[in-house]
């Protein structure tokens, strides 16, 4: 898919139920978008139009519900009356719906020059308030210039909305340097989904907040991911407060794992307005440091089509995690015994954990050092059975079921410890649980030998994620919570200053 089409798909509100798209045959973004939301219905109108605008209007009148988004590819502009086309479609766009248009940059520049050097945005807004669109109430919410295109011709993608229906929100995230997928699942992907909502814009920077210029009426939140705050951070926190930010700590591990967290009396949580985390258990552990806490479970951002079972009889096991040395060592002896019994049939893909890889007594293995999320998922998708061991420790009980839902989304049958996974994984239905090395060996052996059982488990787990654990089904809960915090900011300021008087202005 072209960079222009990819960006266009990325701007569609991810929970859209219905989308109208006008494009050339074969150019629709529906297939790509449905990786995010497989339930979205697209009405696709080919260009050049094979019917009159009156016929188009009559066809649209039969649609049972208004569209959540309208997508107009640049070919619509080749018509002599492109804005008359838009005026025909616009009554069928929801009041808070998104209009996404692809405009050739040359088209924008010609009209900018003709307008005496006005800004491109001003020229587009003037077109959206003229002629057949005179009463549309549309304004430009955001615009993205795409310079890397298949034909080398730059384009501008514009999102327009009715001016009175959205609130502006800026989310500035500060993360640690990327390590594995921590940033992706907790910050980057959820924020990318939030940016599909008109009025919301997000930035992410390593170890600082990108203090973007404030837009008119825009409210601001700083999300501080996994930051272990100390008294030395107080000036930075005060600076953010002076800029009008509401401060949120994002943390998804047990804090006592880090001695500095305890030494600094949990300033990470006391020194912010609110805390977001990944599990109810962890929320209970953190609530004593800040009562304003919200749980956002990990979810799956993109769901590929179901995998077809292997036909060659070969299998691959997957292991990829941080800090699991004490969890997998009791299982290595039965695992190596099973690998020896299936030496020419089973391979192992290992991400990050070199000690686990070295302990495997097989030549049929591959190691991938700590990598980005896309590479991690590609390795997972090459496998058939995922190994998810966790001992019963406080640190492990604070973890989420992310590994299970990742396996489920990519057709990998999960063999897991009961710690945390028993809360969502149904033993023998959507995965297999083990309580001892002997049960691990028995479960792995059956998953290897009983292909139909393994395929059924993978299919059931895939259905669970599709129906319950897609990010598209949950991401607006974050936005609702953020706005609720901002609506109470004066109250939350007072509580913050009570916890940490040093932050008072």
- Higher-confidence residue of 136 and 446: namely 446
What is the average per-residue pLDDT within 362-389?
96
CA 126 to chain centroid, in Å, comes to 34
pLDDT tens digits, 54-76:
899 999 999 989 999 999 998 88
pLDDT tens digits, 392-407:
999 999 999 999 999 9
What is the average per-residue pLDDT within 260-279?
97
Q: How many CB atoms lie within 10 A of CB 453?
A: 14
Lateral strand order in the sheet of 138-146: 41-46, 18-23, 67-72, 93-104, 155-162, 138-146
Question: Collapsing DSSP states into helix, strand and coil, what is residue 159?
Answer: strand
Closest CA to 184 of 195, 194, 175: 175
In this structure, the strands spanning 93-104 and 155-162 are antiparallel
Q: Distance between CA atoms of 434 and 348, rounded to whole angstroms?
A: 20
What is the average per-residue pLDDT within 295-300?
98
| Helix or strand holding residue 263 (H, E) | helix 259-263
pLDDT value for 15:
97
What is the average per-residue pLDDT within 17-21?
97
Sorted by where each starts, the structural domains of the chain and their CATH numbers stand as 3-162 (3.40.50.150), 169-297+475-503 (3.40.50), 315-468 (3.40.50.2000)
Cross-strand bridge partners of residue 474: none
Cross-strand bridge partners of residue 20: 43, 70
Q: Distance between CA atoms of 384 and 348, rounded to whole angstroms?
A: 10
Asked if the model's pLDDT at residue 109 lies above 80, the reply is yes
Q: For helices 402-409 and 451-468, what crossing angle results, to 10°?
A: 110
pLDDT value for 181:
64
What is the average per-residue pLDDT within 334-350?
96
Question: Collapsing DSSP states into helix, strand and coil, what is residue 402?
Answer: helix
- Higher-confidence residue of 137 and 309: namely 137
pLDDT tens digits, 165-187:
778 999 999 998 776 667 899 99
- Higher-confidence residue of 18 and 144: namely 18
DSSP state of 470: B
Q: Distance between CA atoms of 270 and 289, rounded to whole angstroms?
A: 6
Task: Give pTM, 2 decimals.
Answer: 0.94
pLDDT tens digits, 92-105:
999 999 999 999 88
Q: How many CB atoms lie within 10 A of CB 108?
A: 21
pLDDT tens digits, 232-244:
999 999 999 999 9
């Amino acid at each position: 898919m072209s960079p222009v089409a990819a960006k266009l798909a990325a701007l569609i509100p991810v929970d859209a139920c219905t989308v109208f798209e006008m494009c050339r045959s074969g150019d629709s973004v529906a297939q790509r978008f449905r990786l995010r939301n497989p339930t979205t219905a697209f009405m696709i109108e080919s260009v050049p139009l094979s019917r009159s605008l009156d016929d188009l209007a009559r066809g649209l009148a039969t649609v049972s519900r208004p569209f959540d988004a309208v997508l107009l590819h640049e070919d619509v502009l080749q018509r002599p009356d492109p804005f008359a086309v838009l005026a025909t479609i616009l009554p069928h766009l929801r009041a808070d719906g998104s209009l996404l248009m692809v405009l050739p940059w040359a088209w924008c520049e010609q009209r900018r020059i003709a307008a005496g050097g006005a800004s491109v945005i001003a020229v587009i807004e003037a077109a959206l308030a003229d002629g057949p669109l005179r009463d549309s109430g549309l304004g430009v919410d955001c615009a993205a210039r795409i310079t890397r295109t298949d034909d080398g011709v730059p384009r501008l993608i514009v999102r327009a909305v009715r001016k009175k229906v959205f609130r502006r929100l800026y989310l500035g995230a500060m993360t640690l340097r990327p390590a594995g997928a921590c940033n992706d699942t907790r910050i980057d992907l959820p924020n990318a989904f939030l940016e599909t909502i008109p009025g919301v814009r997000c930035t992410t920077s390593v170890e600082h907040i990108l203090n973007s210029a404030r837009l008119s009426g825009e409210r601001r939140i700083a999300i501080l991911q996994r930051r272990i705050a100390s008294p030395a951070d107080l000036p930075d926190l005060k600076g953010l407060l002076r800029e009008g930010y509401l401060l949120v700590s994002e943390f998804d591990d047990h804090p006592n794992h880090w001695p500095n967290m305890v030494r600094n009396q949990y300033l990470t949580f006391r020194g912010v307005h609110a805390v977001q985390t990944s599990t109810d258990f962890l929320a209970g552990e953190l609530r004593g440091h800040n009562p304003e806490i919200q749980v956002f479970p990990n979810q799956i951002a993109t769901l590929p089509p179901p995998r077809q079972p292997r036909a060659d009889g070969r299998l691959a096991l997957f292991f990829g995690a941080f800090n699991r040395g004490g969890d997998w060592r009791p299982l290595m002896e039965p695992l190596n015994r099973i690998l020896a019994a299936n030496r020419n049939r089973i391979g192992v893909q290992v991400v990050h954990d070199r000690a686990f890889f070295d302990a495997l007594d097989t030549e049929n293995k591959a190691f991938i050092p700590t990598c980005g999320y896309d590479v991690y998922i590609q390795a997972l998708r090459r496998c058939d059975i995922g190994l998810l061991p966790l001992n019963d420790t406080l640190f492990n009980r604070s973890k989420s079921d992310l590994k299970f839902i990742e396996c489920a989304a990519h057709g990998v049958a999960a063999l897991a410890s009961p710690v945390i996974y028993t809360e969502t994984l149904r033993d023998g239905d959507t995965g297999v649980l083990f309580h001892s090395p002997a049960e691990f060996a028995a479960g792995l052996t059956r998953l290897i030998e009983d292909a139909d059982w393994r395929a059924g488990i993978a299919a059931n787990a895939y259905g669970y994620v599709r129906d319950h654990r897609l990010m598209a089904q949950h991401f607006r809960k974050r936005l609702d919570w953020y706005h609720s915090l901002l609506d109470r900011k004066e109250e939350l300021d007072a509580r913050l200053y009570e916890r940490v008087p040093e932050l008072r202005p």
